[in-house]
Structure 1
Amino acid sequence: MLIYRLLTGEDDVGFCHKVTKALSEGWALHGNPTYAYDAHSRKMRCGQAVTRIASNQPYDPDTKLVDY
């Protein structure tokens, strides 16, 4: 089963660490990152989709994706 997550956050080092942590846990980048201005907070926001294959596990919507 292919698992999909969208990582989002403020454009800062914390977002880079979030993506790096996911990659170190076996997630792979999926598509291009996104970058947009949040007028409410007046800050730039980033997004990056990641995927990972979870072998021999049925999908359960009550399971957190990081627990697969």
Structure 2
Amino acid sequence: MIAYRLLTEEDTSAFCHKVTAALAKGWVLHGDPQYAFDHSTGRMRCAQAVTKEVDGPYDPERRLGEL
């Protein structure tokens, strides 16, 4: 099964660390990063999709961050 996650964060080094941590756990970048202005906070936000091949069937109770 291929698991999918969309990582999001404000446009700070925290976003880069979040993506780097996912890559270190075997996740693979999927597509280009995206950026958008969050009017409620007045800040830019980033998003990056990642995927990972995992054993077993899909289980909606399984936390993706623990894969």
Name the TM-score class by shorter chain: over 0.9
In the alignment, what sits opposite 2:31?
31
Distance 2:12 2:66 in 1: 26
**Aligned-pair Cα RMSD in Å:** 0.8
Q: TM-score, normalised by structure 2?
A: 0.95
- What one-letter code is carried by the residue in structure 2 that aligns with 1:51? T
In the alignment, what sits opposite 1:63?
62
In structure 1, the gaps of 5 or more residues are none
Distance 1:35 1:66 in 2: 22
User: Runs of 4+ in structure 1 displaced over 2 angstroms?
Assistant: none
Q: TM-score, normalised by structure 1?
A: 0.94
Percent of pairs with identical residues: 55
Shift of 1:60: 0.8
